[in-house]
Structure formats: structure tokens, C-alpha cells
Amino acid sequence: MQQLVDNRYRLQQPLGSGGMAEVFLAHDDVLDRDVALKVMSVRYAGDEEFVERFKREAQSAAALSHPNIVSIFDRGEADDGTYYIAMEYLSGGTLKDRILKRGALPPRTAAAVALQIAEALKAAHERDVIHRDIKPHNILITGSGDVKVTDFGIARAASSSTMTRTGHILGTAHYISPEQAMGEPVGPASDLYSLGVVLYEMLTGEMPFDADTPLGIAMKHVNGHLVPPQILNEAVPDGINAVTVRLLAKDPADRYGSDAELIEDLERVVAGLDPAGATTEMMTAAMPAAATRVGPQQPPQSVRRKGKRRRRAMPLILALLALLILAPLAWAGYSLLGNQQEEAPPPAMISVPDLVNMDVDRAEDEFGDDFDIETTAEREDEQSVGTILSQDPESGGEAREGSTISVEVVGTQVADIPNVVGDDRNVAEEALRDAGFEVSTDEKESSFEDEDLVIGQEPGGGRTVERGSEVTITVGTGPDTVEVPDVTGNNLDQAQPILERAGLTLGEVVEDYSDTVPEGSIISQDPVDGESLEPGDEVDVTVSLGVQQVEVPAVYGATLSEAQALLENAGLFSSPVEVPGDEAAGTALETDPGVGALVDPGSTLTLYYSAGPPEPTVASPEPTTTEPDNQNRPGNSGNGNGGNGNGRPNGGSNVPPNVQENVNNNDNVPGGGQGNGNGRPNRGNRGGND
């Protein structure tokens, strides 16, 4: 995709669409962050009133700052003249998704969700922002369970252009308030009614009012009988049942007087207490109101047309009866009077009214006394059935009173089918129904990525057909089986998303040592890659603890060969070094690292072994002359032979600490024989002369 909007927002993938906008996951190249970018439909770009109100309402929504409201970062104009809003991107699903997957929520959970929605509405209403389209689709649930309301301001911007001008229903029919359905002004109480519908759906998994068409649903909001949620779900306590019924009161005055009052009751319900503002008496009092609410003043067109024909038929019958009765009398009168009466004056000339875009029934009601309005042709059009498209004579001129105006009307209403391929199943169905089409659904095996997404539709998007026609969508069911991917060599953080993308889950995790696989990486998996599993199955893995170290064994007292064997049995190698010692020659003394140390398998240790005990020292005769005592001056040589050089070496680098001490004691070191001179001989090196 990678389309750049306003030289800043790089579109990555679609997240959803509706009748007025599409939402994309986009990357903000300026601030280097992901955002949800809502781009308004191109068909609204030329509507100045819509654009102006959209800008104003987007600005109001951007000023809303609340933990339960999705933050709006930016708004502006795209290259094609449409407008966009950049908002906080949340990866969690919608409340509608959760209800569809899990059904009714536990009552206290539903109350907690409603409480957070009410907090968001309170913050908006305090700034004079009315949402007008509260529904589960606009409620996001984060991974931590927080609730955030989205789409503030957009519905209000749409209302002025689409609802007040034509009387069409704004918002999703299942969630609109009675005053919205009647085209009346709406306030905060309308949002509370919609919240009541959402709460009802959370408690029961069903809608409080339903019908075959959006108009039928809207009329049930106005005069339908409400079945309390407790009737459909016995687990619903009295308290939350009463709150729901009060929210769904037909008259706004019978609902909660403020958001704060509702919040107080919901807080009590969440805490397990009875609400203070809604009682069971109030619930029973609200139920009859549904049956007594006055409906819209104008019934649907099909009903009006039939009624009009009945009104016209009755006067015609009465006129025929009067003609039969009065005809003989009229003939007698004419015979008596002859042609003495003057001719009646011609009808007056009057202005021809403008009937174009008016409903034909309304035109007949308003101008039927002055003109005979005759339908001469019908054709398809996107406007409502019965709308006048043209007239003859045209408006602005004059015609005789009682003359005929021929009109061409819409006989079949048509509309463009939205393209819903790639949309979520519920989003697609809602978009098609909002556009006035019936929806049927087929299912087909698909890739895991296409599960619950529309992978085909018939007729295709963009075609113009009769409104009310059926559109069949094909929804992917995901694969019957999925292939297990290879996750060996990865760590757990890398393996888990790999499995999830394949439609699988991470199962049991065990740990083991490995000489070849680094610590933290996966050694093996079960099942292995390439096998087939059902979606959602688990894959168990074994994670490396790294190389298992071995403990250096004790070798002191063993012979050199025995010590080497002990080390080899432990998986270690040795480098023998002979050092002075009182032990028998060839006796193992110690290792470096020493006994008990932990080393990697295959390590080479220095193995110190004894060269044998020192030889006895032979005393030399005392010299006859007295010389200064050089006993403490090492390194002075006598005049005679310095011995055979069989002494052990001075404390060298290869001598272990416990042996070095003995070497430093010159009295016990053989091989450092005295010379014939006066000096005390040095210790000799092993195998050489001083």
C-alpha cells in the first residue's frame, strides 16, 4: 500500500471502513510512530457544510483528553481534497468483537465497561461534544482491559449534512435514540440511550430492538416494547437491570439527569451494591412507556400510498352515487330552463409550482387542489422511491388552474454497492446494510490471515443496483489444518509470534542443557515443522540452558595416571606439571582450577604431581678461617663445586602455592650442595649445575 497522505502519514494496511470513512494503520514519518488514520469518504469532500462542521468537531474532539477516550493527534486535508484525522493506534479489538466471540459478558464486567464509557461521555459532554454514534464497534478494549471510546466528533459533523437536511436516520439503527430516529435535536441524553443499548447487548448478547430494515429498527426504538435484560438472562441482577431500563427510557427526561448520576449508580453496581438512582419500581414504570410512545407523524411511503388510494376511491364512489341520483333531476332542470344559462368563465391562470425533488404524494397533498398531478414515467435513481425527477410544464411559468402537470418519478431506488472485500465480516455486513442492501453470507476455507475477512462478494463493489437487493459476501473460515513452522534456533519471544501467525499457540516449555545450542534458544519442538495441526493447537518446545558445566573432582593422593583417568571420566583433559613435594614421586597433588570448581566439559586443567621427597643433606666441614656470615645473602657462590644441581627449582610459576612454601625453605632442598668456599650455595635448578 505505502500511500503517503499529506506528505506525512504512510498508509500500511486497512483497519476498517464505514459509510463515511476508512481507517488505516499508518506510520507518522515526522514523529516516527504508528497512528490510526481515518480518511473521510471522497463523496463528502464537496459538501462545504459537512467539511466545515467536520473541521470544527474534529477540533473539539482533539481537545478531549481523558484516559477512556482515544487521543486525536492531528487533522488535515489529504491530496484528493478529503479530510483525515490521525488518532491514537490501539492494537486491541473492539467491544463488538468480544461480544461476538464470547456472547454475553458477566454482569459485573458489563457494568465495569459501561462505567468507563460513561466516564468518557462525561468528559465529552462537559465540553459540549455529543458523540451521536455510541456502539460496541466504537469501543476499544486494550490488552490490559482498559476501555477507550473512539470516533468523537465525526458523527456530529456528519449529522448536519445527512440527517437534518433529508430526515434520514443518523448512526447505526440498532443504537440510535428515539429522538434521533424522529429527527429531533439530540443532547447528552441521546448518548446515554445508546450506552443503554450497548449495556443491554453486553448483558444479553442480543439487541433490545430488531427488525428486517434499518427503518423498522428505528421505529421500534420510538414505539417498541422493551423486554428487560433480566428476562433474557436470569443471571442479570436487579440493580444493573434497573440501570439498563432507565437508560433505555423513550423520553429523555426519564433517563439519567446527568452523566455523574449514572456513574454513581454504575460504581455501586460494580461494588456489588444496589444503585441509588434506578430502582426496580422505576423499571416496571418504564415498561408501559414503550407501548404509549407516539410514533412518527408520517408513516412509511408504502403505507401512505395505499392510504391515499383509499382516500381517493371513497370520494369517487360517492360521486358516482350522487350522479345516479341527481342525473334525472339535472336533466329535468335543463329541459325546463333550456339554454338560458351563461357559460362558466375559464379557469384562472396560476403559477406552476416547483415539484422536482419533492415526494409525489406530498406534491399531490399540497398542490392537488390547483393541478392534476399525473405520473407519466418512472425510472431508477439513487433518490427515494416516489421522488419527482422532472415535470412538464416546468416551474416558474403559469398554467390554467386544474390543468395537468406531468411528472417523472423514481420507480426503483438504486445505489452503488460498497466494496467490502478485505473487511472484517461484521464491518462488511454493517456497511452493506447501512447502504440499504440485504446481506447473505457464504463461508469458504481460506488462509489463516483471511479468517473472518470478506474474500469475495457478489455483485461486486461499485455496481449500481436496486436498493434492497441482496449482496452475498464470502467470508474466509481459515484453514482446516495449518502447517507447523520451524521455530528451532529462535528464542521464546521470537517463536511465539511465528506460531501465532500460523494459527497455532505456544504449548509446554521445558529446559535442557545443550552443547551446541546457545542458552535461551529452542533446541527442539513437538510436533516438528512440516506436520499439520488444527488451528489453535499447541506446539511444545525445549529451550537450551546452554552447556552443562562439570565439577572438578579431587585428585590428591592418586597416582598421576589415576588422576588423569578421574579427570577424563569427568569429561576433562589434563596438562601434568611436576613440582616439589613431600609425597611420593608421581603422586597427584592438585589441579588448577581446583577441586569443586565448575568448568565447561572438555576443558584442560593443569595437574600438579609430586617429584618425590627431597634427598638427605650431607654436612660439610667448617672452614678454618672466619668469614662474615653470608647465611642471609642468597646468591653468593662458594669457591668449590656448587653441588650436583639436583635440587628442585626455586618458586617458579608452575609451582602450586602449597608446594612453594617448602621450596623456599633452603634447609630442606637437596641439590643445593655447599661448595668448598665460604659462601652458602644457592638452590640449583632441576637437572643442572649452579
**pLDDT tens digit sequence for 250-295:** 999 999 999 999 999 999 998 887 776 554 444 444 443 333 333 3
Res 642: pLDDT: 41
How does residue 622 score in pLDDT terms, banded at 50, 70 and 90?
A: low
What is the CATH topology of the domain spanning 490-544? Trypsin Inhibitor V; Chain A (3.30.10)
How does residue 153 score in pLDDT terms, banded at 50, 70 and 90?
A: low
How does residue 454 score in pLDDT terms, banded at 50, 70 and 90?
A: very high
Contacts of 683 (CB under 8 A, 6+ apart): 647, 648, 649, 650, 663, 666, 669, 671, 672
| Average pLDDT of the residues of the chain | 78
Q: Give the C-alpha separation, 319 to 397, whole Å.
A: 33
Q: What is the mean pLDDT of residues 179-202?
A: 94
Residue among 28, 74, 133, 372 flagged as catalytic? 133
Q: Give the C-alpha separation, 268 to 283, whole Å.
A: 17
Instruction: Tell me if domain 95-292 and domain 550-610 are identical in fold.
Output: no
How does residue 632 score in pLDDT terms, banded at 50, 70 and 90?
A: very low
Res 144: pLDDT: 62
Res 63: pLDDT: 79
- Higher pLDDT residue, 26 or 156? 26
- Higher pLDDT residue, 150 or 307? 150
Contacts of 654 (CB under 8 A, 6+ apart): 577, 579, 606, 608
10 Å CB burial of residue 73 (0-12, 13-18, 19+) is middle
Q: What is the mean pLDDT of residues 139-149?
A: 82
Question: For residue 689, is pLDDT > 60?
Answer: no
Q: Which of 145-149, 324-328, 455-459, 491-495 has the lowest mean pLDDT?
A: 324-328
Q: What is the mean pLDDT of residues 467-486?
A: 87
Question: For residue 152, is pLDDT > 50?
Answer: yes
148 is in an annotated binding site: no
Q: Which of 125-129, 171-175, 326-330, 502-506 has the lowest mean pLDDT?
A: 326-330
Q: Return the H-helix or E-strand segment holding 244.
A: helix 238-247
CA distances from 575 to 431, 581, 595 (A): 80, 18, 15
Q: Give the C-alpha separation, 139 to 152, whole Å.
A: 11
- Across the beta sheet with 72-77, the strand order is 4-5, 9-17, 21-28, 33-40, 83-88, 72-77
Q: What is the mean pLDDT of residues 521-527?
A: 95
CATH code of the domain occupying 95-292: 1.10.510.10
- Higher pLDDT residue, 628 or 120? 120
What ranges do the domains of the chain cover? Answer: 4-88, 95-292, 417-476, 490-544, 550-610
Q: What is the mean pLDDT of residues 210-214?
A: 88
Q: Which of 6-15, 664-673, 681-690 has the lowest mean pLDDT?
A: 681-690
Q: What is the mean pLDDT of residues 511-538?
A: 91
Buried b (16+ CB within 10 A) or exposed e, 587-602: bbbbbeeeeeeebeee
Q: Which CATH architecture has domain 4-88?
A: 2-Layer Sandwich (3.30)
Concerning whether 354 is annotated as a catalytic residue, the answer is no
- Determine whether domain 417-476 maps to CATH 3.40.50.300: no
Question: For residue 553, is pLDDT > 70?
Answer: yes
Question: For residue 505, is pLDDT > 80?
Answer: yes
Question: For residue 659, is pLDDT > 70?
Answer: no
Q: Give the C-alpha separation, 527 to 593, whole Å.
A: 43
Note the pTM of the prediction, 2 decimals: 0.43
CATH code of the domain occupying 550-610: 3.30.10.20
How does residue 179 score in pLDDT terms, banded at 50, 70 and 90?
A: very high
- The backbone torsions φ and ψ at residue 83, rounded to the nearest 5 degrees and listed phi first, read -115, 155
Res 624: pLDDT: 58
Res 508: pLDDT: 94
Q: Which percentage of the chain shows pLDDT scores above 70? A: 74
Q: What is the mean pLDDT of residues 661-681?
A: 40
Sign of CA dihedral 100, 106, 111, 116: negative
